Amino acid sequence: MATPIKEWSKLEVRAVVRFLFSKGTKPSEIHKQIPETYGEGAMSRSRVYQWCTWFGEGRTSLGDEPKSGRPKTSTNEEKTTRVDELIRCDRRMKIREIALKLEIPKRTVHEIVHDTLGYRKMSARWVPKMLTEDHKLQRVEISQRLLQRCQQDNASPQNYFMLSPHFLVWRKSRPGGDFQANNNLFDNLITGDETWVHLNTPETKRDSMTWKHPSSPVTKKFKMQRSAAKVMATVFWDAKGVILLDILPQGQCINAARYCSTLDRLKKAIRRKRPGLLRRGVVLQHDNATPHSANLTQQWLQRYGWEIVPHPAHSPDLALSDFHLFGPLKRHLGSMAFETEDELRNWFDNLDVDFFRVGINSLLSRWQKCIDLHGDYVEK
């Protein structure tokens, strides 16, 4: 028995079927001879009979007839181009919708979107306010003024950093130490702000994440709401730690008179915890909340000669407590029932001094990033 031909094409087998059929060979006999010559699987019995019928009806073409319906995408480049066009037209389109629209398997679409085109689906970033051009210009101008102030305070060769209009360079304070600045502004800087503290704060979904095996049962987390009962906490701190923690009685909120009373307590706390700072001159950073900018508060600050760090409107990303302190505080309070002031005070006392120092020094990079972003919000 002859060895079957290993390499063949469909057109070649069909031509042999036509040749044998034109000589009067029966379809059953043709089906016996095809496997002997081309091996099993070259053409099934039903296909041999089908082609013999077509040839008997006068067909001469050996190729496939054109199929009706929508033509399929033939190459990966064409698929990639069409997927990219759909995404650019609708950035919210899902993988499943793209697959249905282009009649491509979802797995193929997923590979094209993530591996070939490099798309990553992300939610929009929430920002406090849509900044106008005037807001952005104000943010840039204030950041530039503060950086220039730091430059003037560090004009001598032994300073920790140098500043040019568009480039900021830090020198390490000690081998292996963190980047930091040492100047009059930061030496005397105290920052403060208020935040609401709920008596019951549910744990966030992110903080409740646990490790599990594929076979582990799915865990459930019951949805909880923050308690309506809350108190307002005012925190003043510097590079060495918390100077004053003031918690209002439940149901009360801050106003100009109450804020001035808190500043009186802050002044006493500075005299006790930071000897010599009142003599050198306090530099206070707080935002533009109504109690902070009220005439009564301004009169108090002028009376004691405290310098105020200018703060642009709608800029929590440039307020130290907002972007550095209150986030970790709220995560700490997650799944906790707040009962006494001592619980908050103990948390602040347990923070390493480096936490506060890094926060104060991060102002430099924040101001520079604000300038580089032309006044837009600084995310990190």
CA distances to 55, 56, 340 from 66, rounded to whole Å, are 18, 21, 81
Contact in structure between 376 and 277 (CB atoms under 8 Å): no
Tokens of 83: 């997927």
319 against 73, higher pLDDT: 319
Tokens of 60: 């001469």
- Please determine, for residue 11, whether its predicted confidence score (pLDDT) is greater than 90: no
Domain-wise residue ranges, the chain: 10-56, 76-116, 133-208+224-372
Q: Distance between CA 308 and CA 322 in Å, rounded?
A: 18
> What's the pLDDT tens digit per position in 104-146?
888 899 999 988 888 887 776 677 788 899 999 999 999 999 9
| Amino acid present at 109 | V
What's the pLDDT score for residue 331?
Answer: 73
Where do we find the tokens 């920790």? 160
Q: Distance between CA 349 and CA 242 in Å, rounded?
A: 8
Q: How many CB atoms lie within 10 A of CB 231?
A: 19
When pLDDT is cut at 50, 70 and 90, the band that residue 179 belongs to is: very low
Contact in structure between 210 and 219 (CB atoms under 8 Å): yes
What's the pLDDT score for residue 276?
Answer: 92
The three-state secondary structure class of 266 is helix
Q: How many CB atoms lie within 10 A of CB 377?
A: 20
Contact in structure between 285 and 237 (CB atoms under 8 Å): no
210: left (phi over 0), alpha (psi -120 to 50) or beta: beta
Q: Distance between CA 247 and CA 184 in Å, rounded?
A: 30
Comparing 147-151, 204-208, 256-260, 286-290, which segment has the lowest mean pLDDT?
Answer: 204-208
> What count of residues does the chain have?
380
> What's the pLDDT tens digit per position in 212-262?
666 667 676 655 555 556 778 899 999 999 999 988 887 788 899 999 999
In 3D, which of 156, 223, 212 has the Cα closest to residue 184? 156
> What's the pLDDT tens digit per position in 248-307?
887 788 899 999 999 999 999 999 999 999 999 999 999 999 999 999 999 999 999 999
Domain 133-208+224-372 has CATH 3.60.110.10: no
- What global pTM score does this model have? 0.58
Provide the percentage of residues in the chain whose pLDDT is more than 90.
Answer: 29
> What's the pLDDT tens digit per position in 336-366?
666 666 777 787 888 888 999 998 988 999 9
What's the pLDDT score for residue 222?
Answer: 55
CB within 8 Å of 328: residues ≥ 6 apart: none
What's the pLDDT score for residue 162?
Answer: 34
